[in-house]
Structure 1
Amino acid sequence: MNSKKKFAVVLAGSGVYDGSEIHEATLALYAISKNGGEYEMFAPNIDQYHVINHITGEEMAEKRNVLVEAARIARGNIKDLKEFEASNYDAILFPGGFGVAKNLCTFAFKGPDCDVNPEVETALKAMHEAGKPIGALCIAPALIAKILGKVEVTIGQDAGTAEAITSLGATHINTGHGEIVFDKENKIVTTPCYMLDATIAQIGEGAENVVKTIMAL
């Protein structure tokens, strides 16, 4: 029997400004593997909100697909989120990046009044209802708060984002580098990552602390 914990990792594209944050995604995968777990990656098969030139920060006149872009991080080994079955996984994890707040939901534009991608909502609710752990890095805890409401999370120390999360009925706890907030009742583990001015080593530490906490459940 395979006793390895199996994570579903949900990506939002590829690149901090319009997709998944690549360091957070990669180091989360590393932490899962290093600590004896397995993972499969998913992303919704939808258009990105927009495409950003990561050198200039300016919008580019082209269209890209979230699943196709996320496949870059997954080395091609990724599934359409609509195929997700909660019964096949022990935990679900969301790396950060603006794509979470632009593609998986519209938090970047509408804050607490944002809309959520239906497949993302279905997957997250299915895991929560099954009593399975949820991990979220960086801005992704805002997505969790929008869907689940009365939860305890962290995005670090950004007052505006924390206030938006609180307005959704969630409790926000300020944290520093590598620190986590563990909502025991809901089995939700969050860490700020690049919501703080972090180094890549601090990102790795935060990702590993989230993964280890989930593994211990």
Structure 2
Amino acid sequence: MKKIAVILAGCGVYDGAEINEAVLTLLHIAKAGASYQCFAPDIEQLHTINHLNGEQMTPNRNVLVEAARIARGDIKALTLLDANNFDALIVPGGFGAAKNLCDFAIKGTQAKLNPEILRAAKAFANAKKPAGYMCIAPAMIPLIYSAGVKTTIGNDLDTANALQSLGAQHIDCAVDDIVIDEQHKLVSTPAYMLAQSILDADAGIKKLVTNVLAMS
């Protein structure tokens, strides 16, 4: 059975992992007959957002504790992720990917990755193991892979230009499609960067999971 590591950025579209993207990812991994283990960094979130009114809340929350809500408690600290024990990596989106896993949401083209994310993601890349990134999570790709790596965040011009500035080759992509970089065994899909419904998001996520598993 293939084993997939899934990295979550918290719980909730505005400050953590996008819940639908995360659940659909886990569902399609399981439906394909593979297994998964969720991980998250044991750090404070950038901030905590009230998802009802969009306002910032106090006290702030912990990324690992929040991500455990999605994983039903079956989650490990990112420090424990060893790429040698897995066949592939998948990273759902949500603003937490650009706020907690890296600081792209704040610093744009000056962005840096959380050190544990960098270690874990680079381990998969260096081992030539496949990986999938969705929604805004592909903003991390040029900080992990070599210049010219192919990826997508959909078709948002400003974000695409920022990825190009960081060294990626951005390819416009429809919500129900994926971009594959064969050389790097890398798959990306826009998901809720473009999705207007859970069905929209599901179409691309299913293709991403299917192709990541096929490469592993």
Which of 197, 204, 214 is residue 199 of structure 1 equivalent to? 197
Q: Determine if contact 1:153/1:173 at 8 Å carries over to the other structure.
A: yes
Does the aligned pair in 1 maintain the 2:178–2:204 contact within 8 Å?
yes
CA RMSD of aligned residues (A): 0.8
- Native 8 Å contact 1:111 1:164 kept in 2: yes
1:11–1:103 Cα change, 3 Å: same
Kept in 2, the 8 Å contact 1:17–1:97? The answer is yes
What's 2:27 paired with? 30
Partner of 1:120: 117
1:184 equivalenced with 2:166 (yes/no): no
TM-score by length of 1: 0.97
Residue 163 of structure 2, aligned match among 162, 165, 179: 165
Match of 1:64 among 61, 67, 75: 61
CA distance in 2, matches of 1:48, 1:8: 21
Separation in 2 of the partners of 1:146 and 1:111?
12
SS in 2 for 1:135: strand
Moved over 2 A (4+): none
Amino acid at match of 1:26: V
Q: Deviations over 1:27-75 (max 9, x none)?
A: 0000101111110000000000000010111111211000000000000
Cα pair 1:180 1:190 within 8 Å, conserved? yes
In the superposition, the TM-score normalised over structure 2's length comes to 0.97
Task: Provide the aligned length of Structure 1 versus Structure 2.
Answer: 214
**Residue deviations 1:183-204, cap 9 Å, x none?**
0000010000010142101111
Q: Give the partner amino acid of 2:44.
A: D
User: Share of identical aligned residues, percent?
Assistant: 53
The one-letter code matched in structure 2 to 1:35 is: A
SS of the residue corresponding to residue 104 of structure 1 reads coil
Contact 2:14 2:96 in 1 (8 A): yes
Match of 1:111 in 2: 108
* Alignment partner of 2:7 out of 2, 5, 10: 10
